[in-house]
Structure 1
Amino acid sequence: MTTENSQDGQGQYSYHLPVLFGETLDALAIKPDGVYADLTFGGGGHSRGILERLGPKGRLFAFDQDSDARRNLPEDRRITFLPHNFRHVGRFLRLHEGIPVDGILADLGVSSHQFDEGQRGFSFRFEGEMDMRMDQRQTNTAFDIVNTWSEQRLHKLFEQYGEVTNARTLARTIVHVRSTLSLKTIANFKAALNSVVKGNPNKYFAQVFQALRIEVNDELGALKEMLQQVPGLLSIGGRVAIITFHSLEDRIVKNFFKKGSFEDEDPSDPFGQSTAPPLLKAITKKPVIPGDTELRQNPRSRSAKLRAAERI
C-alpha cells in the first residue's frame, strides 16, 4: 500500500505500469512450464510479464478483489482470473487444482486507477464519498469508521497506520465535529479537519487516508493470512516475491521470510529455539528498491521495497 503523495497519479503514470517490474520477474525465476499466482492483478502489468516468460503449458492464476481489474484481462487461455481477496489464495487454488505453484507475486500498492476513480473515495484530490473499499461487496466503509469509532480507537488508528503527528488531536476533532457535521463526503471531511492539519496538507491527508484505507480493507490482516499459506502452496524451490509500500508491511514480510513468524526478535529467546524452523529462505538479504531511472519515470515507486524468498 502506498501513501497517495508517493503515487499521486499524474496522467502519464499508467495504471498498467508495474513497480519494480524486471526485478520482480527475475526474482520469481519463471519456468516456462510453471504454475504462477499473481495475487494483486490490478492493471495486469506483472501478469503480462509472467505470461511472456511462460510457455504454452504454463499457467497463471490472477487474483484481485476489485471488480474493475477484470477489464484488464488479456485474452489468454493460460490465465484464470479469481475475483477474491488474496487472504483466500489457498482455498481457490485448491478449487482450481493449482497447487503446488512455482511462484507467487503480490504488489501491495494501491493502483493509480483506484486513486483516480474519484467516486471510490481513495483520493483526497477528488470529490466523492468516504468509501475506500477495494472489494465493493463488503459493507464497512471509511465513513463508518470516522462516524462511529471512539476517540481512542481513532487515535490509535491514525497513529499506527498513518503515522499522523497529531493523531490524538485529529481523533478528538473528528468525534467533536461529527455530531453536527456530516463526514460522508471527502469535501466535508477535509473541511471539518482543516483547522488541525499539520504541515503540508497533501502529505497530511495522504497519511490520514492511508490509515483509513488500511483499516477498511484489513490490509495487514489479509497480508498475514496470505503469508501463512505461502509455504504450503509453493513447490520445493518455488519462489515468492512481495512488493510493499509501508514500513508495517515490510516488517511483516521481512520477519516471515526470516523466521516464519510476524514478531520481532524475542529477547528471551535470542536463538529462536521456541519456534519451528522456517520453510522459506530469503533470497533478498536487503529489500530491492527502485533505481534512479524508475524513480524519475514513476514517483509511485519511491516507497517500494521488494523482498523475495524460496521454499526449502
Structure 2
Amino acid sequence: MDNTTYHIPVMLDACIQGLHIQPNGVYVDLTFGGGGHSRAILAQLEGGHLYGFDQDSDALINVPDDNRFTFVQANFRDLRRYLKLYNVLKVDGILADLGISSHQIDEPERGFSTRFDADLDMRMNQSGDLSAATILNGYDETELHKIFGQYGEVTNAKSLARAIVAERANTPIQTIAHLKRLLEKFAPRGKQHKYFAQVFQALRIVVNDELGALKEMLEQSAELLNPGGRLVVMSYHSLEDRLVKNFIQKGKFQGEVEKDFYGNLQRPLNPVNRKAITADEAEVKRNSRARSAKLRIAEKI
C-alpha cells in the first residue's frame, strides 16, 4: 500500500525537530500507523534504534525492513511493559500522534466515519470486545448521557440518551445509517456534520478508552525518558490536549503544580514550547486533518 494514502503525517517536520534526535539514541513512535514519522526518525539514526507501537493489525503492512526498527503490536498504555521485554529501560525520545489514522477513517467496515454505512464498530484494536454498538444498545440512559456530554461535548446529551434508549427498545441500533437517522432529529440545523462528529468522537473515546490510555502513557513516558530526552505529542481535540498540557506543565492531570521547600516546581518535564504549535495555512489546505492539531513538546528534567 502507498503509505501516503494510509495516513498523511501532520506537522511532520515540527515533530521530528521536536524530538531533537541523537543519531545513536533510542526512540519510540507510539502511533506507527502508516510509518511516516518512523521513516523520518530512521533517516536520522546511525547506530540508534526505533520501537514502533500500534494496536491496529492493519499497520503491519507498513513495517519497514530495517534492523534498526522493532514493531510492537500493542496499545501504548503498555509502553513500559513491552520495552522491558526488549531490555529497554530508558529512551531518548517518545512521539505520539493521537487519534485515528486516515486509513481507519477511510475503511468503511471499521465504522469510524459518518461518510459510509457499516456496523457501529470503532475498535482500534480489532480483537477488543467493546464496540460502539455494544455501548449504544447496552449502556443505560445515565451512562449514555455522561458519554455524550463529557466526551462529545454534545449540548442536548440528555435528550439524545433518552431517545437512544427508546429507539433500541424497538430495534437494536447496529449500523451507522440507523444512528444517523436518529441523530438528524437532534442535530442543529446546518450543523449536522459537526453534531455527528461529536457523537462519533464520544463513542470512539469510550470504545478505545483513549483518555485512560493517554494518561497511563504520559506517566510512563516521564519515567522512561533519559534526562534531556524529549516527549512530542500531537492531539486533535481539547480533551486530549488538556491532559497533555496539564501533565507537561504540572506533572499531573488536574490541580495546581506542587513546589518543594525552596519553591522549585515538582514536575518531571519542562515545556519546550510555551504554547501549542499549530499547522500553517498551506498544510491545512493540503490536509484538512491538520486544522485541529495541537503539538506540544517537553523535555525530561
Q: Does TM, normalized by the shorter one, top 0.5?
A: yes
C-alpha distance in structure 2 between counterparts of 1:54 and 1:142, whole Å = 40
Residue type of the alignment partner of 2:7? H
C-alpha distance in structure 2 between counterparts of 1:248 and 1:308, whole Å = 17
Secondary structure of the corresponding residue to residue 21 of structure 2: coil
Secondary structure of the corresponding residue to residue 197 of structure 2: helix
1:265 corresponds in structure 2 to 256
Is 2:89 aligned against 1:99?
yes
Aligned positions of 1:296-311 closer than 5 A: 296-311=285-300
Is 2:74 aligned against 1:109?
no
Aligned positions of 1:157-306 closer than 5 A: 157-199=147-189, 200-265=191-256, 277-306=266-295
Please state how far the C-alpha of 1:277 moved relative to its aligned partner.
Answer: 1.1
Secondary structure of the corresponding residue to residue 54 of structure 1: coil
Q: Of 62, 70, 90, which residue of structure 2 is paired with 1:72?
A: 62
Question: Cα distance 1:172–1:232, how it changes in 2: closer, same or farther (>3 A)?
Answer: same
Secondary structure of the corresponding residue to residue 52 of structure 2: strand
C-alpha distance in structure 1 between counterparts of 2:166 and 2:137, whole Å = 11
Please state how far the C-alpha of 1:198 moved relative to its aligned partner.
Answer: 2.0
Please state how far the C-alpha of 1:174 moved relative to its aligned partner.
Answer: 0.4
For this pair of structures, how many residues does the alignment match? Answer: 297
**Could you say what the CA RMSD is over the residues aligned between the two structures, in angstroms?**
1.9
Please state how far the C-alpha of 1:109 moved relative to its aligned partner.
Answer: 2.6
Please state how far the C-alpha of 1:98 moved relative to its aligned partner.
Answer: 2.2
Question: What TM-score results when the alignment is normalised by the length of structure 1?
Answer: 0.91
Residue type of the alignment partner of 1:115? I
Give CA-to-partner distance per residue, 1:82-128, whole Å, 9 cap, x none: 00000000000111122211000000031110011111111111111
C-alpha distance in structure 2 between counterparts of 1:242 and 1:161, whole Å = 20
C-alpha distance in structure 1 between counterparts of 2:180 and 2:8, whole Å = 30
Question: What TM-score results when the alignment is normalised by the length of structure 2?
Answer: 0.94
Report 1 or 2 for greater relative contact order, CA contacts < 8 Å, sequence distance ≥ 6: 1
> 1:182, 1:188 within 8 Å by CA — same for their partners in 2?
no
C-alpha distance in structure 2 between counterparts of 1:84 and 1:113, whole Å = 18
Question: Cα distance 1:204–1:275, how it changes in 2: closer, same or farther (>3 A)?
Answer: farther
C-alpha distance in structure 2 between counterparts of 1:81 and 1:305, whole Å = 26
C-alpha distance in structure 2 between counterparts of 1:126 and 1:290, whole Å = 28
Identity level (%): 53
C-alpha distance in structure 2 between counterparts of 1:215 and 1:264, whole Å = 24
Unaligned runs of at least 5 residues, structure 1: 1-12
